[in-house]
Amino acid sequence: MPSNKSVSDAPITQFINCRILRDHQLQREDLWVREGRILDPEKLFFDEHGYADNCVDCEGSIIAPGFIDVQINGGYGIDFSQASEDVSKGISFVAKRILEHGVTSFCPTLVTSPPVVYHKVTSPVKIVEKKGAHPEQYLRTFRSGGIEDLMEAYGSLDNVAMVTLAPELASSQSVVRELCQRGITVSLGHSVANLSQAEEAVQNGASFITHLFNAMLPFHHRDPGIVGLLTSDQVPAGRTVYYGMIADGIHTNPAALRIAHRAHPSGLVLVTDAITAMGLPPGRHTLGQQVIEIQGLHAYVAGTKTLSGSIATMDMCVRHFKQASGCSVEEALEAASLHPAQLLGISHKKGNLDYGSDADLVIIDDALNVRATYINGEEVWRKEP
């Protein structure tokens, strides 16, 4: 129990026999949690004279921050882009299922859809030439000059965390500025933009690239397009351009994955881009207004060879990224935790194990398999023995 000097009567949990990811390194030390936050043990011992009420033996495992997936379209039969009277029920169902894959936070993502569907996340403002699996009839340009088109499509931007748009569209730069002023992360993607157009968008506040290499112009030595942002000298000082990578072994060749990581390691954000069929057997499923066919590990728009999201889980992506890139364990874990938190502007409370941060944790073995998941210091999933 806490001592009489303790600032709180809440129970304290001590995680022992573990290596924790802190300051970009795995450190062999205990982790202390109270009231859903990570404690500074020195203050606990010397200022409060407190000690643990509960002890969790991690048996030599790694403790990392909970994974954050900023692009997930659904899973386990739930499609976030299908209109529903109870959206929260589907989101909650997926949230519970992905705990076994170490995901403690995520952005429910909507693909291009009719306006009636929009409640939350991804914009329909994409370029037709690089529409990917997005239905062309619902793609929009900025017809009335900017932000009004988004309001017409969404009705509200109150619950929107991120919008993907094509920066070459007329009036797109003013929309980038307006969205950033509202605290919404702007991502560039589904686009045929050249490098200068992409750089202008970044200078106006854009900070992310949607699934790098996919649904954009291929790299060219005279004009590298959006891909060139990874090494651009026109990114404002102090700013980082992050980029999503679907490290499922299908969307991106391992050599391309290595090129991106070695060019800009601190910007890499692992995303699943998972669709309804994640966790389901092969067959036909929906993604928004499209029918998707699962063949092995590939998800195609039915009747085509157009890739349409993935059926990968975040822990699979972490493992494949480490294997394909040759990066360290720390780098692989931070690409699924710290980097997405920095992208979303929430790294003061999530994506790390700093003192005072939320105790969203994943316990993993040396092969990066998830053994247990915690949210706010409470165990929410554990692998059966």
Under the banding of pLDDT at 50, 70 and 90, the label for residue 3 is: very low
pLDDT of residue 119: 43
Per-residue burial over 155-186, b if 16 or more Cβ lie within 10 Å, else e, is eebeebbbbbbbbbbebbbebbbbbbeeebbb
Q: What is the Cα–Cα distance from 175 to 178, expressed in whole angstroms?
A: 5
Q: What is the mean pLDDT of residues 201-209?
A: 98
Domains along the chain with CATH numbers: 67-350 (3.20.20.140)
pLDDT of residue 155: 74
* Nearest alpha carbon to residue 202 among 264, 250, 279, 129: 264
326-352: per-residue pLDDT in tens?
A: 999 999 999 999 999 999 999 999 999
pTM beyond 0.85, yes or no: yes
| Contact between residue 84 and residue 40 where contact means Cβ atoms under 8 Å apart | no
- Told to judge if 273 belongs to the known catalytic residues of this protein, a careful annotator would answer yes
Q: What is the Cα–Cα distance from 6 to 116, expressed in whole angstroms?
A: 52
pLDDT of residue 329: 98
Pairing of strands 103-108, 67-72: parallel
| Position 31 pLDDT exceeds 60 | yes
| Position 125 pLDDT exceeds 50 | no
51-63: per-residue pLDDT in tens?
A: 899 999 999 999 9
* Nearest alpha carbon to residue 270 among 336, 341, 345: 336
Q: What is the mean pLDDT of residues 20-39?
A: 97
What's the mean pLDDT when you consider all of the chain?
A: 88
Pairing of strands 290-295, 208-209: unpaired
Structure tokens at 230: 């990874």
Q: What is the mean pLDDT of residues 272-276?
A: 90
Structure tokens at 271: 């995303």
Q: What is the mean pLDDT of residues 308-335?
A: 95
pLDDT of residue 33: 97
211 is known to lie in a ligand binding site: yes
pLDDT of residue 51: 85
138-163: per-residue pLDDT in tens?
A: 445 666 567 777 777 777 788 889 99
* Nearest alpha carbon to residue 38 among 383, 382, 376, 378: 376
pLDDT of residue 275: 86
Of the residues 273, 315, 358, 360, only one is catalytic, namely: 273
Under the banding of pLDDT at 50, 70 and 90, the label for residue 134 is: very low
pLDDT of residue 122: 38
* Nearest alpha carbon to residue 162 among 221, 127, 207: 207
| Position 383 pLDDT exceeds 90 | yes
- The residue with tokens 């409370």 is 349
pLDDT of residue 2: 47
pLDDT of residue 149: 77
74-123: per-residue pLDDT in tens?
A: 999 898 888 777 788 889 999 999 999 999 999 998 876 766 655 443 33
